[in-house]
Amino acid sequence: MGSERIVLLSKREIEKMRRAGRAAAALLHYLEPHVKPGVTTAELDEIAESWTKERGYRSAPLGYHGFPKSICTSVNNVICHGIPNKKQVLKDGDIINIDVTPVVDGYHGDTSKTFFVGEPSAEARKLVEVTEKCLYQAIEEVKPGNRIGDLGAAIQECAEPQGFSVVRDFVGHGVSNVFHTAPQVPHFGTRGKGKRLRPGMVFTIEPMINEGSWEAKVLEDEWTAITVDGGLSAQFEHTVAVTPDGVEILTLYEGDDV
Ligand code: MF3
Ligand code: CO
Ligand code: CO
């Protein structure tokens, strides 16, 4: 990933990405009421897999480089790639990122949100709200002629003045009929640096913001990435397309099932 050429999607392909993106958003919306104290992350995974299969779609994470489940569930100090587990029971005050990627007619809709389980602490609420704001500030930078570095700069400018840090080890990515492709989209950066954005580029922006240090380590299971200092981490993700006059968010929930 990263060194290959950035593919510009045709109108026809962007329409397919729109369908996949809408499905991803609808799935996240469907899961939301199930996120409450007492549910296990394995139950959330089963609900997501049933929803996906019932519609004739496929869950991209399942079997992806050996990932064992259909969604990622990243709780509290887990930065990303948390594996659903039947022993992991959500409790009041937890935060959980749920990351879904249904494949619809060969194309991937990749989106995630961090949810509150019951009532969050003031600090957890602030982290989650700032993280979502970081994503939208980055999306505002997406237009032809701007550069990839503008996105990361916007995220840093949003997170760091609040005393939070931006994870370096995981990036957004091009997404299409391929799950992860060029370009890489770092969530830190310098304005005016990096590849120029062009109409037809489709990629994710998925900032992971930590309460403490940005440093991550990966557990023995080779997937679960946690904060080195045990601090909380939050994440939000959208799949976006660069259009001739700006940006289209492909993974917005539009109030319908799909
Ligand atoms: N959906 C994640 C992303 O945003 C990737 C998950 S890969 C998996 O890129 F294998 F962990 F599922
Ligand atoms: Co994702
Ligand atoms: Co992604």
Position in ligand 1 atom list of the atom nearest CA 237: 4
Ligand 1 pocket mutation, candidates 1, 62, 67, criterion most atoms within 8 A of CB: 67
Read off the pLDDT of each residue in 23-31 and give the average, rounded to a whole number: 98
Ligand 3 centroid, distance to 173 Cα (angstroms): 6
Distance 255 CA to ligand 1 centre (A): 25
2 confidence band (pLDDT: 50, 70, 90): very low
For residue 178, the one-letter residue type is: V
8 Å CB contact between 95 and 113: no
Mean pLDDT score across all residues of the chain: 98
* 234: its two tokens: 């939050």
Contacts of 188 (CB under 8 A, 6+ apart): 152, 153, 155, 156, 166, 168
Residue boundaries of the structural domains of the chain: 11-249
Phi-psi region of 227 (alpha: psi -120 to 50; beta: other; left: phi over 0): beta
Is 1's pLDDT higher than 80?
no
Given a cut of 70, whether residue 161 has pLDDT beyond it is yes
- Give me the pLDDT at residue 63, please: 98
Mean pLDDT of 221-247: 98
Ligand 1 residue neighbourhood (C-beta within 6 Å): 61, 64-65, 67, 72, 81, 99, 101, 110, 204, 206, 223, 237
Look up residue 91 and give its DSSP letter.
Answer: -
DSSP for 64-93, written as a single string: GGG--SSSEEEETTEEE-PPP-TT-B--TT
180 φ/ψ angles, rounded to the nearest 5 degrees: -130, 115
What span, in angstroms and rounded, lies between the C-alpha atoms of 22 and 147?
A: 26
Residue having the nearest C-alpha atom to atom 2 of ligand 1: 99
Per residue in 34-78, pLDDT tens?
999 999 999 999 999 999 999 999 999 999 999 999 999 999 999
Indicate whether 257 pLDDT > 80. yes
Read off the pLDDT band of 256 (50, 70, 90). confident
From the alpha carbon of 60, which atom of ligand 1 is closest?
12
> pLDDT band at 4, cuts 50/70/90?
confident
Q: Residue 116, SS3? A: strand
Q: pLDDT digits over 190-215, tens only?
A: 999 999 999 999 999 999 999 999 99
pLDDT for 171 beyond 90:
yes
CB neighbourhood size of 29 (10 A): 15
Nearest-angstrom CA–CA distance, 122 and 188: 26
CATH topology of domain 11-249: Creatine Amidinohydrolase (3.90.230)
